[in-house]
Structure 1
Amino acid sequence: MPQTVSIPLPNSQSAIVLAGYQEENLKVLSRQTGAVVVLRGQELFISGEADQIALCRQLVKSLDSLWSQGKPIDRADILTARQALDTQRQDDLQSLQRDILARNRRGEEIRAKTFRQRQYIKAVQTHDLTFCIGPAGTGKTFLAAVLAVQAFLANQYERLILTRPAVEAGEKLGFLPGDLQQKVNPYLRPLYDALYEFIEPEKIASLMERGVIEVAPIAYMRGRTLNNAFIILDEAQNTTPAQMKMLLTRLGFRSRMVVTGDLTQTDLAPQQSSGLAVAQKILHHVEGIAFCNLTQVDVVRHPLVQRIVAAYEHQDTP
């Protein structure tokens, strides 16, 4: 027989973060448990069958360390909590919620949202070369940039190098205005955006003028040895095998490199092999190299992104 229970929340801020933007979190809780979840003031009402209510209460309780302190909660947090309940990993979940990777310029906490993201972070911290492969919205580039900036600001590396191939996704570089640097800047925009989360724009400009931070197309890396640097290669699926080999062999002493990409979004010509796919095949068992694979479960952007990724994966399945 359907019943209703309530959970009192300590303050209005807890209610706000638990509900989420436009009460999206309550909708996710409802979809995950089958219960009807309604917030009235500072009290959460859960209605449904006994097992639905029990599961919903468990989920809410597993997020207590976040909402009780007014920390933002989103769909990824709820899905990870559900995964933890299903796999008996509640202790791992608590650790995941406690581990703060960094704080951006606005003081917002940056942390892994999923267990695979946490594995990715640990891999980068313990390997000189890490590959991360996964769909859009899984935090591949952002988390790599966070780790790079934190290590750079802690003086662990002298330089921060962010690079990606300037491959057109439907446009032609020749028709864009400006010189070569201005033409490729749109392709490097996501890397700039990650930097701006942690370093004042004026300071970034100064560091770039001094060559301490370098954001450049992969072609600029040829013939160099990158010592004492943290290097990120983004959009690696758009490298050719020769470009990938060239960059990987630039890795110098006291340096660390992270290679990120999505093999489902290759903009190369149909007959051209992806350097990322070739590297995954050749280097998968090489000692000292970490490979991390993120999936649609790890998408931490707008909820629609995960559904879009899932739809495309379904369409591509033979």
Structure 2
Amino acid sequence: MKRRRARLELVDDRPIRVHRTRFEEERNPPPIQPMTARQAEYLEALGSHPQVIVLGPAGTGKTYIAGTRAADQLRQRRVAKVVITRPNVPSGRSLGFFPGTLEDKIAPWVAPLTETMKERMGEGAFEIAVKAGDIEVVPFEVMRGRTFKNCLVILDEAQNTTPAEIKMFLTRIGDDTQVIINGDVSQTDLRETSGLRTVIHLVKSRMMPIPIVEFGLDDIVRSGICAEWVRAFEEARV
């Protein structure tokens, strides 16, 4: 009995070694570092303005930085919620072909943002936030009547909004909210005037204090292949 008690006491006296889990490490990533001068301008604008418009071709980090910003703001409790939306204008298959609810249908289209957030926050933290309603994907079809307060709202693929749609979106914005409008005016799938072009015109003509960050072909960081093809299509005007 004494030998058993001594063994138990020895075990109890051992120092407990705490191992950091992968989940904990993912919740404390280092600050994002800009890869180009334009990315640095984008990050500075996000840190100092409630509304930011970011334009440019694929592969420049527009969506990645927006998703990372959203994840960090939510993780640090600087906003109560992240709202993600985009217009339902297909460049290929119609939204109606996808199964499930309207929210399920739009989910694949906002995957670039949600996957970035998941990678930044950690999958577990991301799923908890989604279930708690702290991350919400809001289709344009159900946006009317909503007010977004104390949150970060990202409008992706804004070039595919109509003027009426982007007006409806911007008039949903409440207090203590940051808005990121992301798009590429050269890649609209609309047959009518782009709402993004309308907003850019209003900001510039009225000299509104909203930064417009414009990425170019030299800002593409995704890969050399991506840059080569974007440049080829731009030069061919396709």
TM-score scaled by length of structure 2: 0.82
The structure 2 residue matched to 1:232, chosen from 150, 154, 162, is 154
The structure 2 residue matched to 1:114, chosen from 23, 36, 49, is 36
Are 2:148 and 1:148 aligned?
no
In structure 2, what is the Cα distance between the partners aligned to 1:116 and 1:191?
Answer: 20
Aligned to 1:173: 95
Q: Percent identity?
A: 37
Number of aligned residues: 213
The structure 2 residue matched to 1:262, chosen from 184, 195, 208, is 184
Are 2:203 and 1:283 aligned?
yes
Contact 1:165 1:219 in 2 (8 A): no
- Offset at residue 177 of structure 1 (A): 2.6
Contact 1:139 1:300 in 2 (8 A): yes
In structure 1, what is the Cα distance between the partners aligned to 2:160 and 2:171?
Answer: 18
Aligned to 1:209: 131
- Offset at residue 108 of structure 1 (A): 7.0
Q: Where does the alignment leave 5 or more consecutive residues of structure 1 unmatched?
A: 1-102
Are 2:59 and 1:137 aligned?
yes
Q: 1:108 to 1:157 in 2, by over 3 A?
A: closer
Q: Deviations over 1:176-203 (max 9, x none)?
A: 2333222222112112111111122232
The residue type paired with residue 189 of structure 1 is: A
Q: 1:172 to 1:289 in 2, by over 3 A?
A: same
- Offset at residue 220 of structure 1 (A): 3.0
Q: Deviations over 1:195-251 (max 9, x none)?
A: 111122232222222211112323332211211111111111111111111111112
The residue type paired with residue 208 of structure 2 is: E
Please give the secondary structure, in 2, of the residue aligned with 1:162. strand
Q: Where does the alignment leave 5 or more consecutive residues of structure 2 unmatched?
A: 1-24
- Offset at residue 131 of structure 1 (A): 0.2
Aligned to 1:34: none
The residue type paired with residue 278 of structure 1 is: T
Please give the secondary structure, in 1, of the residue aligned with 2:193. coil
The residue type paired with residue 135 of structure 2 is: I
In structure 1, what is the Cα distance between the partners aligned to 2:152 and 2:229?
Answer: 33
Q: 1:186 to 1:282 in 2, by over 3 A?
A: same
In structure 2, what is the Cα distance between the partners aligned to 1:198 and 1:144?
Answer: 12
In structure 1, what is the Cα distance between the partners aligned to 2:36 and 2:131?
Answer: 37
The structure 1 residue matched to 2:49, chosen from 114, 123, 127, is 127
Aligned to 2:237: 316
Are 2:228 and 1:307 aligned?
yes
Q: Which has the higher contact order (CA 8 A, sep 6+)?
A: 2
Contact 2:27 2:75 in 1 (8 A): no
Aligned to 1:15: none
TM-score scaled by length of structure 1: 0.63
Aligned to 1:273: 193
Q: 1:203 to 1:244 in 2, by over 3 A?
A: same
Contact 1:104 1:110 in 2 (8 A): no
Tell me which protein shows more strand as a share of its residues: 1
The residue type paired with residue 301 of structure 1 is: R
In structure 2, what is the Cα distance between the partners aligned to 1:308 and 1:302?
Answer: 10
- Offset at residue 173 of structure 1 (A): 2.1
Aligned to 1:159: 81
Are 2:114 and 1:192 aligned?
yes
The residue type paired with residue 304 of structure 1 is: I
